[in-house]
């Protein structure tokens, strides 16, 4: 059964870049609150990417401990604009070096519980 509030794949493809993946994942995180684990989407920003990662809510919270940090599946990192800061079995955490991406992430982070 599709979780309530999950975006359609078409919506995911239509929107651009990592910030969209982050918004999708924030919605997933909210919807999954208290259930332990959830399926998150790769935040690599590749429009053709529809990879997902199953992880604990607490693990995703750890990824989101910094505005510049993004969740991606292994192999989707882009060395020119980001550094891999954490390596896990099923996912990586990257930190953006690009100032615009960081600014955009700040501007769109509307969470008030962090
Ligand atoms: Zn990806």
In the chain, where the domains are located: 9-108
Quote the ligand 1 centre to 30 CA distance (angstroms): 21
- The residue that leads in pLDDT, 89 or 11, is 89
User: Ligand 1 centre from 73 Cα, in Å?
Assistant: 6
pLDDT reported for residue 67: 83
Cα(38) to centroid of ligand 1, in Å?
17
For residue 26 the two structure tokens come to: 């924030």
Tell me the two tokens of residue 113: 């519980």
State the distance from the centre of ligand 1 to the C-alpha of 75, rounded, in angstroms.
8
The predicted-structure confidence for 74-113, as pLDDT tens digits, reads as follows 999 988 788 999 999 999 999 987 666 656 666 766 666 5
List the strands of the sheet with 69-72, edge to edge.
Answer: 69-72, 92-96, 82-87
Cα 42 to middle of ligand 1, angstroms: 5
Model confidence over 41-72: pLDDT tens digits?
A: 999 877 788 899 999 999 999 999 998 899 99
Q: How confident is the model at residue 4 (pLDDT cuts 50, 70, 90)?
A: low
pLDDT at residue 6 greater than cutoff 70: no
């Amino acid at each position: 059964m599709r979780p309530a509030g999950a975006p359609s794949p078409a919506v995911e493809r239509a929107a651009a870049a990592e910030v969209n993946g982050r918004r999708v994942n924030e919605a997933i995180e909210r919807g999954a609150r208290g259930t332990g684990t959830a399926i998150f989407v790769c935040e690599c920003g590749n429009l053709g990417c529809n990879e997902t990662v199953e992880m604990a809510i607490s693990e995703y919270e750890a990824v989101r401990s910094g505005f510049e940090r993004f969740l991606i599946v292994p192999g989707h990192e882009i060395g020119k604009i980001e550094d891999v800061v954490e390596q896990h079995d099923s996912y990586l955490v990257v930190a953006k070096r690009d100032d615009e991406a960081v600014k955009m992430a700040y501007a769109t982070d509307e969470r008030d519980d962090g």
